Structure 1
Amino acid sequence: MTDVIRVLIVEDEPLTAEAHAAYVSRLDGFTVVGSAGTGRAMLAAVASEQPDLVLLDFDLPDAHGLQLVRALRAAGSAVDVIAVTAAHDARGVKNALALGIVQYLVKPFSFRTFAERLQTYRAFRRGFEDRRSLTQADIDQSLGTLRPSIPSELEKGIARETLDSVQDVLQRASGGLSATEVAEATGTSRVTARRYLEHCVTAGQADKEVRRSGPGRPEYEYRWLR
């Protein structure tokens, strides 16, 4: 297996496809090798680009995602597939798992959720590298990596969606950000942004230091711990 995971994005909405490509570009160890907006284009791209992983939307103009996975398997392709879709009916999810889809992402989702799923997938792949056989413990560990732990309950007054937004802004920043700057980027008040930033500091996800900005009340800037 190669060190860099080659990703094919299958999505019929151009802006969404671009967003997913941008997400992939922010992750170490992944690279986008192509994009397809139809099922027909996807099958052709899998044959020509030989990706390691397909990020597959189910609702395509000419085919359903599950039909495409069946077609891949019938053709002998063992490419890994992560469902990236708004479809979440119980029967569809069950059928997806039966076809060997390794992860299932329900739209909409934050970058944090996207990154967690791809990172657990990468850990899953690594469990098979340079091995001719696996012990029961190896198999259990590999399967376990695909099931991220359930996050502990958030403290009172902290909403998951807002927290994801603040964390995303910090992760994308090239330097430290003030509460005011985070508030502007997330569309929240400065007080709210500061509360969530302090939560990140307490959780060990970010640190803060005084920003030197002349006389007057000091202002803190927050930086994601990479």
Structure 2
Amino acid sequence: MSTWEVFIVEDDIRIAEINRKFVEKVEGFSVCGIALNEEEAKEQISILKPDLVILDIYFPDMNGLDLLRWIRSEFRGIEVVMVTAATEVKTLKHALEDGIFDYIVKPVIFQRFKDTLLQFKEHKLLMTQLSADKEINQNMIDSLLKREKVEVEPSFLPKGIDPITLDKILTILMKHKKGFTAEDLGHRTGVSRTTARRYLEYLVSEQKAKADITYGGVGRPERIYKYGL
């Protein structure tokens, strides 16, 4: 069985590692490298020539859309999936025009990520089959072009988990490495301690956060939630 090589371009090493773990949980895929900036990305992509690039948009030294265009001009056989917090319509439009395979908005749900990789595998296998034929018919063309995206609706989340609040809490965790107690995070987001804890425990279950036990001033244990695994 072929193994598809995936290259990750993400300036936050914690998110890059989460993406790596997600890729390696899907059979038939492996991560061949990780780049944190434009120079590393161009150098390693040129050498490794991966099958698929997982690409963010926001970087201190570049815009991911510019790197997407460079990949398209230099390596037309490499597919690109944008995994980003960018939700502007203009950004999505530019990415689509430049030929992305898919566009996934952070925070990433593993099942959504997995679906994209499986669609990529199916697409590549079909391309391989078609390359052996001298001619194609309309049914073959329709199969190749029809890649139905899996839309993650709010109903996909457990009851009591609002996607907007979830995104807000995850964004705060990503920016503060020391982490928060449920009470501290509740104050920051304007929700109760119980509500904050419910969202934090959900993130732990989705492997987007971890909980460490510490002891407060009166010696009672407290859970400190931090972003990442």
Using the size of structure 1 for normalisation, the TM-score is 0.64
- The residue matched to 2:33 in structure 1 has which SS? strand
Deviations 1:17-73 (A, max 9, x none): 011101111110100000000122111111111100000011122111111111122
2:30 is equivalent to residue 28 of structure 1:
no
- The 1-side partners of 2:137 and 2:150 are apart by 22
Map 1:1-226 to 2 at 5 A. 3-132=2-131, 133-148=135-150, 187=201
Instruction: Please give the root-mean-square deviation of Cα atoms over the aligned residues, in Å.
Output: 2.9
- The 1-side partners of 2:97 and 2:67 are apart by 14
Identity across the alignment (%): 29
- The 2-side partners of 1:157 and 1:9 are apart by 32
The one-letter code matched in structure 1 to 2:88 is D
Deviations 1:104-123 (A, max 9, x none): 00000211111111111211
- The residue matched to 2:77 in structure 1 has which SS? coil
- The residue matched to 1:131 in structure 2 has which SS? helix
The one-letter code matched in structure 1 to 2:109 is S
- The 1-side partners of 2:47 and 2:104 are apart by 26
Q: How many residues align?
A: 166
Which residues of structure 2 form unaligned runs of 5+?
A: 164-197, 206-229
Which range is displaced more, 33-42 or 68-77?
68-77
Which range is displaced more, 61-70 or 26-35?
61-70
- The residue matched to 1:100 in structure 2 has which SS? coil
Deviations 1:193-225 (A, max 9, x none): 9xxxxxxxxxxxxxxxxxxxxxxxxxxxxxxxx
Which residues of structure 1 form unaligned runs of 5+?
A: 162-183, 194-226
Using the size of structure 2 for normalisation, the TM-score is 0.64
Contact 1:72 1:78 in 2 (8 A): no
Contact 1:9 1:21 in 2 (8 A): yes
- The residue matched to 1:129 in structure 2 has which SS? helix
Contact 2:154 2:162 in 1 (8 A): no
Contact 1:10 1:37 in 2 (8 A): yes
- The 2-side partners of 1:29 and 1:63 are apart by 31
